[in-house]
Amino acid sequence: MSEERPTADASEAAEAPDEVRATDADAWATACAEDLAAEKVRRRAQYGPPPGSAAEELRKLVDAVADKLSGIQTPLLGAVAGPAAQQVVRQVVQQAKNAVEPVIERNPDVFDHLAAAGSELLAAYRSAVQTQETRWTSGSHDKGDDPGPGERIDLD
């Protein structure tokens, strides 16, 4: 009897824990994905859409400036020159957009790097200003802080 072969039911039972583990892993991944999606929806509702890449933000800026420039009325030029001046402004704006768009398309990562570098420069500047302000407002001045050319004269 010790040499009996396992029945089909026993082999199915041996495979069942592997299937359960795979199902559990899938369920966990599915639950995490659902939670992440729900959190993204909640944040969009609370804070609005997340900012895009630097290239997308530059496109938005160019479009916003173009819309503003195209909508400007030119009262200084009078009624006769007004429509012609507006047409010139529209042409210049369109040329600028046509010049900027290929640059953005070819180099989207460059704008992300420039934005990151700008943020790092701003952080370094803030740190330097805060350090200097701390020195100015602390009220304690070491004699070594003021390396002026004069010397102290005792009048007593």
What per-residue confidence (pLDDT) applies to 126?
A: 94
What per-residue confidence (pLDDT) applies to 36?
A: 93
Please give the model's pTM, rounded to 2 decimal places: 0.42
What per-residue confidence (pLDDT) applies to 129?
A: 93
Mention every residue, 6+ apart, whose C-beta is less than 8 A from residue 59. 101, 104
Report which residue type is found at 38. Answer: A
123 HSE (CA, 13 A, CB side): 6
Q: How confident is the model at residue 79 (pLDDT cuts 50, 70, 90)?
A: low
Mean local confidence (pLDDT), 27-36: 90
104-121 pLDDT tens trace: 888 888 888 888 899 999
